[in-house]
Chains A and B, each alone.
Chain A
């Protein structure tokens, strides 16, 4: 059965070892940073490409963000996604309720035009905001079953088998289609886009949808760094001769 799959992604900064805040403490200073798709969502994109590769069908990538988030849609298209849709906002962050409401409206619009999505994939949580809820809210608004923490998806006949990673293994769920899943990194290894994919992505038409902003109820006052204990690093040595000193640390923490 050919599948119609939607993947929702978010543009986020790609920080290195340190995060610097702007002077007004409202956001991360991105002057010297690149942007990327949240890691779980990059895997959701790869999963959609693999599933439509196996079963046939089409895939669409959707994001809510500023105009420049087209970059992340084109990255997804270069990996093999067929269509890109931008729900265009100003550059402000929308909270989970506002984001979910706008995505639900956009999905309803797209489905009225091209038919229902069999599968809608989200990342388990975004790297920056970490709200852990947008996919569940959208699924609830669309009245579709949803599972989170998914590390394996197999479409079988008119249903789908999903596996959720837990501490000591996997939980297996069987859902009817259409369904929604919030996936986690580890479900696959995302491909590096090939030259052909990048050429297709460069020329791809991106559909723009203008959303209405619902007031969600959670608003930022300021961002700040947690207080860090300034620990002086104690150097135990430079090679094999440090082994006894390391073993003494093992003793101190009660391992030996």
Chain B
């Protein structure tokens, strides 16, 4: 076969493999979501994963959001001062945090913390026959391992983002009032006046989507991991990388959907 045809064949194979992979992932997610509707329900499992995501991620999300808000206020002030627009600091901080930084930073942190842990745990279960053992113990692994994690991700991320939003704005407030000389009341009034419901709602909707994508990537790569420790390591890396990319890509799509004129 000639070189151009070889290239074409390679392109075709790669495209088909990619489409097949996406199809399998969609079926995987759809199957897990359908299982959520089918009894028996597992509140105990759901609560365990919900606590793992929402409660145990709280300290790192809170700290990151606080410092992000502080840095944002400082940078905004430095930049806007060139145009005598320092008064916009509170508005920029509150809009940036609620619309973008709260959900995206929370998503990326949870992807690193929870996505990796899920891929590693499920991947280890795969390579040590624990998933096969579930089948022999009258338990559907998709229902036991995947479905409750997806639901937990879907519901826990918005809660974390509420906290991240509050602390991000608070970080901006701290720097604004203690370092940049804004009056506390004026800073808060500026923040409140500029904020609209859609800013918060869009951020929470993004958080839900990000939570779903993070847990989906963790479960997908863990569930399909092969080999021993190396395979589990690769699954973990892929889960975090894929979740991070999907968070950023879906963030753009959702921003377009919510705010494009």
Chains A and B form a bound pair: no
A residues in contact (CB < 8 Å) with B: none
User: Which B residues are closer than 8 A to A by beta carbons?
Assistant: none
